[in-house]
Chain A
Amino acid sequence: MKLINKHNFFPVVCVLFTVIMLVKVIFEAVTQGLFENYQENIITIFLLSLLATFVLSLHYRFRRLPLILVIIVQYLFLVGVALAIVWASSFYEPLNENAYRDMFLSFTIVYAVGAVVYYISFFMGIRRANKTLSEIKAYQNEKNKNLKGEKDNEKDVE
């Protein structure tokens, strides 16, 4: 059995990278007592990714709602949570003057890129489906034409 193939290659790389980074951060925190900006950022990004994936995975529950509305509401919710995390962290440590802007941009850019990729793949899927459909219909028409031709030939012979 081939565990890694061309379909799961990049997901496997992402999982490995995530696991190694988390183990490293936790190991450093436990053995060396290190938990500074670098470690904190990694944990924050991991938790935000976890939350974003969870919220986005709920889209199937909102199939009755317009997709654009679902995408916008999910974005507003997630960016709200991200900014709330920044706000909450301000009680424990001083914030950089651009902290809110940086968090907003970090989240928005990733979300926008994801939305564009989804949008493009959606329209490419339609194009593929149209191509498949026209091939199916061409095959069916050809088949019907051949059947008709056979019958016409038989009539001519008679």
Chain B
Amino acid sequence: MKIQYWKDSSLQEDWVDVHYREENESIDIIKKFFGSFNSIMGRNDDGVCKIHPDSIYYLEVVDRKLFAYQEKEVYQLDYTLRNFLELFASNGFVQIGKSMVVNLYKISRIKADLNMRLRLQLDNGEILILNRSYKKTFLKTIQHIKEVHNEAD
């Protein structure tokens, strides 16, 4: 395998392209290696654990600490909500309240309550309230993702 390194101080960010003829074991290892860069460290009572952003259902700030909620487990993350969104918004995370972010791909259904607030039912049965201030951004985001998918097709 031919490997080249290029140093360019004018780059906005560091990036890697991998060119391959077909997927094989080496490519798989490379994918896993670079995929690990997308993992984040979370900690709970059992210790520190590597978690993948896609496994997170939603995030919430409690007492200025950011917590990530998976299907059953909860981890504390060393990010601010804003930092996390900057890094992982492309994974489908969207803000639904001042201190709450949800993973769009984990929402099973949107419902309205009597007070015309939107309730997001997640795949694990939990229900989150979508703040009216964030409704427009939320709806725009899902529409945008749909358009991106349509263009990709």
Chain A interface (Cβ within 8 Å of chain B)? 63, 66-68, 119, 122-123, 125-126, 129-130, 132-133, 135-137, 139-140, 150-151, 154
Kindly state whether residue B39 has any CB partner on chain A within 8 Å: no
Q: In this assembly, does B82 line the interface, its C-beta being within 8 Å of a C-beta of chain A?
A: no
Q: Is the CB of A136 within 8 A of B117?
A: no
| Known contacts A133-B142, A136-B142; A126 and B118 CB within 8 A of each other | yes
> Chain A contact residues: over half helix, strand or loop, or mixed?
helix
User: B112 contacts A136, CB within 8 Å?
Assistant: no
Interface flag for B36 (CB, 8 Å): no
Interface of B is mostly: mixed
A-B contact pairs, 14 of them (CB 8 A): A66-B115, A119-B116, A123-B112, A126-B112, A129-B110, A132-B142, A132-B143, A132-B146, A133-B104, A136-B105, A136-B145, A136-B149, A150-B23, A154-B23
Closest to A130 in B: B110
Inter-chain CA distance A68–B104, complex, in Å, is 28
Nearest-CB residue, chain B, relative to A68: B115
**Cβ-defined partner of A67 (8 Å) among B23, B115, B146:** B115
